[in-house]
Structure 1
Amino acid sequence: MTVKKIFCLLLISIFLFNCKKSYFKYTEKPEYITNPSIDTKPYFDAYDATLKIWDVPFEELYIPTTFGTAHVIVSGPESGEPLVLLHGMNASSTMWYPNIKDFTKEYRVYAIDFILEPGKSYILNDIESVDQISAWYHEIFSKLKLESFHIIGASRGGWLAVNLALQNQEQIKSMTLLSPAQTFIWIRPSTDLLKNIVLALSSQEKQIEQSLKSMSSNVDHINKTYLKQYYIGVEKDSINKFVMKMQPFSKRDFESLKMPVLVLIGDDDMINNDKTISMAKKLIPYGQGETIENAGHFLSVDQPEVVDQKILQFLESTKK
């Protein structure tokens, strides 16, 4: 081997090492994880159990931010385009367990635990506004060195994704919204919603059971390991104050979006309906939408194969 080839290989090795090293400083587990309190240990144990069904290699990052520690699960090829995942309310990043294998075939995936809800992110300083929530996400993107990326938001994560996109149009290559909550239309009254209200005075276990039945078209299809984690998280959590501040975006907001946007909802979705799809197609310049059959609000869990295929086809179309 010539000296020139050896030198080139050395440069490549240094480059690859530095790429890995850039995240290495975030891999050390913080004290609240290594020495959890009696209250948090059962949930963290359940979270780790769900990660065992993650199906692909992953790395957990603990990123210090102004408001506390952000927990991010990173999977997929380092050379892949960045794909950010924002989970639904109280679901944590592990909700993507049915989809992660498909997403990581080509993309470098960053699943972020929302700091105000059950997950492994840890809040230290109070967050007083939606703008501060956005600032928290942007701080994470900066530390991950994500200059541009695709983003998928589920339910409340969809609302947050739109909010982020409106603040930084150039950063987001494309946006996929899975049954986005309070984004296009107000959550409408329904039989399932009324059942949830009636059950508000019953046992917490009954409340969670009814909530799941109203959100999923097939609760039995949800992995039992993940369900255990979800139950523990919801039992200990309460609705954060910012949920009440979420409201549908304006026509002008949607018309201002510059990136391609895909909206998917379930045909048994208690939060969205045909009007959501109609608005996505009509108001967003590069918007498209579709209804997934035999799926509820949790469509990425109810119909993971179909949803993954739709998303990957959409992402591929953005490259043309």
Structure 2
Amino acid sequence: MSTRTAPFLAAYDALLARWPVPVEPLAVRTPHGTTRINACGPTDGRPLVLLHGGGATSTMWFANAGAWAEAGHRVLAVDLIGDPGRSIHDGAPLRDLPGLLGWLDAVLDQLGVPEADFCAHSYGAWITLQYALHAPTRVGRLALLDPTQCFTGFRPGYLLRALPLFLPRRTPARARSYLDWESAGGHGLDPAWRDLYALGYADFPASPVITGPRPTPARLHSLTTPLLTLYAANSRPHNPHHTAEATRHAVPHATIAILPGTSHHSLPTAAAPEVNRHVLDFLRPARP
């Protein structure tokens, strides 16, 4: 642990300690490095893979994972490779979307999970939707929380406001300012998670972010995986009502809801009871 990343890792462990169920830290080796998975729930439960948004780390599921584990799911919360977190990107570089999807294939292979349900937020939702199109037989059900770059693009005003995040001389203050703007003054954000995000942004040696286009309408129409999308009513990245309509048009079988009083980053925690209920109602029963 370097002096620079020590405060981030300490904050990561403190937030993970708030999960209301016992957590088993797992590490699997892939060609791109070592991936950390925070697992909970019965080992014989149906796997539920969680992918976080950019910079959020798998600890962000502290208000959700316990409810899903207690319902009988084997929750597998993954730290994205190359992103702030406890995964270590010390192997082959990740250069494009096929490489990212191959990494996720390798993670599931190493975990011995041939097929699972998935729940993901933000950037993690884009990866997961692309993965469901790439490997449909490995994705049973797909729950996306305020997904970005999936069914509509970003608002131009959001991109302008987020641009400073990609400039040099990163500071925690810049990340906190962005989060507070996106959530209207920090409303609904957990203070400890907000600080963790800011420390990871400023001090963690993350790899370049893999981005790409939205799936084409033809590819989206080919999606047969059962789909749940939950949108934040006050989301800044996109217009939630327009995006919900675009989702309905692209994937007619999707279950869609807009949760009031939530922003993009606060959705999983500020509306945790509603999110947890929607996801559990959507997933196949984990117990007979």
Structures share fold, TM-score greater than 0.5 = yes
| Aligned residues of 1:266 and 1:293 also touching (Cα < 8 A) | yes
Shift of 1:170: 1.1
| Aligned residues of 1:259 and 1:286 also touching (Cα < 8 A) | no
> Which amino acid is the alignment partner of residue 225 of structure 1?
A
TM-score, length basis structure 2: 0.90
1:300 correspondence with 2:265: no
Shift of 1:42: 2.1
**Worse-matched range after superposition: 92-101 or 225-234:** 225-234
Secondary structure at the aligned position of 2:149 is classed as coil
Partner in structure 2 of residue 89 of structure 1: 54
1:258 correspondence with 2:224: yes
| Structure 2 gap ranges (5+) | none
| Aligned residues of 2:175 and 2:197 also touching (Cα < 8 A) | no
CA–CA distance in structure 2, aligned partners of residues 203 and 41 of structure 1: 17
| Aligned residues of 2:45 and 2:286 also touching (Cα < 8 A) | no
| Structure 1 gap ranges (5+) | 1-35
**Worse-matched range after superposition: 225-234 or 109-118:** 225-234
CA–CA distance in structure 1, aligned partners of residues 38 and 220 of structure 2: 30
TM-score, length basis structure 1: 0.81
Q: How does 1:147-158 map to 2 (within 5 A)?
A: 147-158=114-125
1:173 correspondence with 2:124: no
Q: Number of residue pairs matched?
A: 283
Secondary structure at the aligned position of 1:177 is classed as strand
The higher relative CO (CA closer than 8 Å, separation ≥ 6) is in: 2
Secondary structure at the aligned position of 1:219 is classed as coil
The 1:218–1:302 alpha-carbon spacing in structure 2 relative to 1, beyond 3 Å, is: farther
1:281 to 213, 231, 248: 248
2:16 to 48, 51, 60: 51
CA–CA distance in structure 2, aligned partners of residues 264 and 220 of structure 1: 19
Secondary structure at the aligned position of 1:48 is classed as helix
The 1:293–1:217 alpha-carbon spacing in structure 2 relative to 1, beyond 3 Å, is: farther
| Aligned residues of 1:254 and 1:283 also touching (Cα < 8 A) | yes
Shift of 1:189: 2.2
Give the root-mean-square deviation of aligned CA atoms: 2.5
CA–CA distance in structure 2, aligned partners of residues 61 and 116 of structure 1: 17
1:124 correspondence with 2:80: no
- Higher helix residue share: 1
The 1:77–1:318 alpha-carbon spacing in structure 2 relative to 1, beyond 3 Å, is: closer
2:2 to 15, 37, 45: 37
1:80 to 13, 22, 45: 45
Q: How does 1:1-20 map to 2 (within 5 A)?
A: none
Secondary structure at the aligned position of 1:138 is classed as helix
User: Identity of aligned pairs, percent?
Assistant: 26
Secondary structure at the aligned position of 1:127 is classed as coil
Structure with bigger gyration radius: 1
Q: How does 1:132-281 map to 2 (within 5 A)?
A: 132-190=99-157, 194-197=160-163, 204-216=171-183, 219=186, 221-237=188-204, 241-243=208-210, 245-272=211-238, 273-281=240-248
**Worse-matched range after superposition: 94-103 or 229-238:** 229-238
Secondary structure at the aligned position of 2:80 is classed as coil
The 1:239–1:255 alpha-carbon spacing in structure 2 relative to 1, beyond 3 Å, is: farther
